[in-house]
Amino acid sequence: MTSQIAANLAAVESRIAAAAARAGRAADDVRLLPVSKTKSPADVLVARAAGYRRFGENKVQEAQAKWQELRDTDIEWAVIGHLQSNKARQVAQFATEFQALASLKVARELDKRLLAEGRRLQVLVQVNSSGEDQKFGLPPAEVLAFTRELGAFSALDVRGLMTLAVFSSDHGRVRACFEVMQQVQRELRDAHGGGWDELSMGMSGDFELAIEHGATCVRVGQAVFGARLDPNDYWPGAG
């Protein structure tokens, strides 16, 4: 598995570079965030040895368990899944990045907990670019008003936007989601006088298309680590 993860990372890096070239961009403009959801700390260490330091996790409980096990390393954690305000205390303790902010209640609680911890948190605002009812994130039309409220939270380092595109083999439908994100980013830059440089979009099945539409961070799990597992296989209660 060690050699396979390293080979997978190299293959994804090559695909990122090719997609960036097609878009007239530099490969270095795109950050690969390996998503270690359901993967063991041992697998994370393999990817760390291959040069990756920050890893994405959907569930706070699983992320916190891995942080505790690997806290003697320099590994950083990005929480990329929906967060309830009652989990803000845990995130404030260990996370470097949170990519799914879509609630002022959560922003307020995170800010309070971070100030108590003496920490700051890099934050992306989640947008529901597909309009699907089951998806978390703000409707595009509400993003600007939401972002105007975030200046009140001094511990949040708000850097940009995140989305999950529609899960579809129809590239036209996926592309439409990414185009929505580009438009929202333009509106924010116009309103705030610049900034909002981070655009996290694209996963294992669509990251190349996302890069062609301006993604600066792609969240890739299965193409790096292989099929997902049951996290309870390596510690009970982590799932």
Q: 87 in a domain, yes or no?
A: yes
Q: 229 in a domain, yes or no?
A: no
C-beta separation of 40 from 232 below 8 A = no
The helix/strand/coil state of 53 is: coil
Q: Note the pLDDT tens digit of each residue in 82-114.
A: 999 999 999 999 999 999 999 999 999 999 999
Q: Note the pLDDT tens digit of each residue in 109-154.
A: 999 999 999 999 999 999 999 999 999 999 999 999 999 999 999 9
pTM: 0.94
Q: What are the structure tokens assigned to 182, written together?
A: 């580009």
> Cα dihedral sign for 197, 187, 129, 109?
positive
Number of domains in the chain: 1
Q: 103 in a domain, yes or no?
A: yes
31-34: strand order across its sheet:
31-34, 217-220, 198-200, 156-163, 121-127, 97-101, 76-79, 54-57
Q: Which amino acid, 21?
A: A
Query: What residues make up the domain containing 169?
Result: 2-222
Q: 76 in a domain, yes or no?
A: yes
C-beta separation of 117 from 88 below 8 A = no
Q: 227 in a domain, yes or no?
A: no
Q: Note the pLDDT tens digit of each residue in 28-62.
A: 999 999 999 999 999 999 999 999 999 999 999 99
Q: 139 in a domain, yes or no?
A: yes
Q: What are the structure tokens assigned to 220, written together?
A: 């890739």
User: Over the chain, what is the mean pLDDT?
Assistant: 94
CATH number of the domain at 149, please: 3.20.20.10
**Confidence band for 2, pLDDT divided at 50, 70 and 90:** low
